[in-house]
Structure 1
Amino acid sequence: MDTVEIQRVVAIEDDNWWYRERRAIIARELRRLGGPPGRAADIGAAGGGNTRVLVEHGWEAIAIDASPEAVELAKRRGIDAYHGDACYLPLSTGDFDFVMALDVLQHIPDDQTAAGELARVLRPGGVALISVPCDLSLWSAHDVALGHVRRYSRESLAALIEGAGLQLDRMWSWNVLLRPVVKWRRHRSAPQGAGRLNPVVNAGLRAVVMLERYLPVRSLPGVTLFARAHRPELTSS
């Protein structure tokens, strides 16, 4: 994601339906963890919009991004942010209770190394939350414009996570109800950067995607895959 696109995201993410509902997913997953908040890292954090969710829930959170401009934007928003490559995280081994990499791995040619880094920095029992775009049939100029190098299937994402030494807890689809519209639009329209939507359209889209909280659609094909995994506890011999 280039500097202009990061700035656009920062400008719209507080109100935009997609970013708001993604933050709601993060909040729900944090509540499911139970126990007191600990140390967390947001990898590929861009301007730190998701990192703020961690902070709001009491976590000692840091943001990591490969873009120096994104790091500066996050710092200006009061976030503890650092420049770093997802394949060589500037973080101590086994030092984090929770890490998240949301819509990051699809940008990285060597996603195996990046997934291994997520596992490395987690303490035993620590949890990772990952999201990626799914289904190669949805590949379009939109992916090219955003610098994606792949989209994932459930099988390829599971293999990536388990190959990194993490234990997959669950995987689910997101943006299921809007998938037909997304597929139609992306295959017929030129790619567009993030922009502010008409308020009525924005509210309607959010209402649709919020329905997925209550409907049994998470096993159906969507636009995004979410996965929650953990680093196994050490066993004594």
Structure 2
Amino acid sequence: MQAWFAHARELLGGNPSPRLRELAEALGPGARVLEVGCGGGRNTRYLSGAGLEGVALDVASEPLLLLGACCERVRATADFHLPFASSSFDGALDSYAFTFVAERRLYAMELRRVLKPGGLLLLEFDAEPHVLDHEELEAAAREAFEGLFEFLHVRRIYHAWGCLYDEEREEVPAIAALLTPSK
């Protein structure tokens, strides 16, 4: 948890992911979207404001309290047995939670279980302690999600120390991928 809080300090300004608008547009108004590892909920707030039904999930209860009544809030355990029925979400978002997941295959299986057929997953992550290059990051994602999801698009992005979405500074390699459950 300590690593997560250190990483979260890089998320200055509370801005949503730059790719979140694309996900919201692809899913459309009324879509139910799970944000895994929501932290302070900047992305869930954006989704709710854009007319989607955002559901915030985190292992820590403190960040969930910050969200107020804008969305459904769920506290989960770190074992990633998600407390939702199968096929209950049109989309899911993981904005830098995957970085800290130890059981990545189990995590991918659970995301596959809760997503509806044709659903979308926006996965954004880097490595802790920020030492992997783009090829290694993409290989880690493909290994975890192999056979469960199809990769629709992979972007090799960067973020800067202290400012996650300053992608012009090319300091820390990261991956942004759009996936859909395999048939």
Identify the TM-score tier after normalising by the shorter chain: 0.7 to 0.9
Q: 1:81 aligns with which of 68, 73, 86?
A: 73
Q: Which has the higher strand share?
A: 2
**Counterpart amino acid of 1:168?**
F
* CA deviation profile, 1:198-217 (whole Å, cap 9, x unmatched): xxxx7xx97x63x69xxxxx
Query: Structure 1: which 5+ residue stretches go unaligned?
Result: 15-19, 140-150, 183-193, 195-201, 213-219
1:190: which partner in 2? none
Q: How many correspondences in the alignment?
A: 179
In the alignment, is residue 13 of structure 1 matched against residue 13 of structure 2? yes
Q: 2:180 aligns with which of 221, 230, 233?
A: 230
In the alignment, is residue 138 of structure 1 matched against residue 131 of structure 2? yes
Q: 1:157 aligns with which of 122, 128, 141?
A: 141
1:119: which partner in 2? 112
Q: Which has the higher helix share?
A: 1
2: distance between equivalents of 1:113 and 1:119? 10
How has the CA–CA distance of structure 1 residues 37 and 152 changed in structure 2, closer, same or farther, with 3 Å as cutoff? Answer: farther
2: distance between equivalents of 1:104 and 1:95? 20
How has the CA–CA distance of structure 1 residues 68 and 91 changed in structure 2, closer, same or farther, with 3 Å as cutoff? Answer: same
2: distance between equivalents of 1:97 and 1:138? 33
Q: Give identity over the alignment, percent.
A: 20
CA contact under 8 A between 1:135 and 1:223: conserved in structure 2? Answer: no
CA RMSD of aligned residues (A): 3.5
1:170: which partner in 2? 153
2: distance between equivalents of 1:124 and 1:51? 22
Return the offset for 1:85. 2.9
Q: Which runs of 4+ in 1 moved over 4 A?
A: 134-137
In our comparison, the structure showing a higher alpha carbon Rg is 1
CA contact under 8 A between 2:125 and 2:175: conserved in structure 1? Answer: yes
Query: Structure 2: which 5+ residue stretches go unaligned?
Result: none
* CA deviation profile, 1:42-75 (whole Å, cap 9, x unmatched): 011011111111112211111000001122222x
2:22: which partner in 1? 28
2: distance between equivalents of 1:136 and 1:82? 28
Q: 1:101 aligns with which of 85, 94, 97?
A: 94
TM-score by length of 1: 0.63
1: distance between equivalents of 2:125 and 2:53? 25
2: distance between equivalents of 1:91 and 1:133? 27
TM-score by length of 2: 0.80
In the alignment, is residue 58 of structure 1 matched against residue 8 of structure 2? no
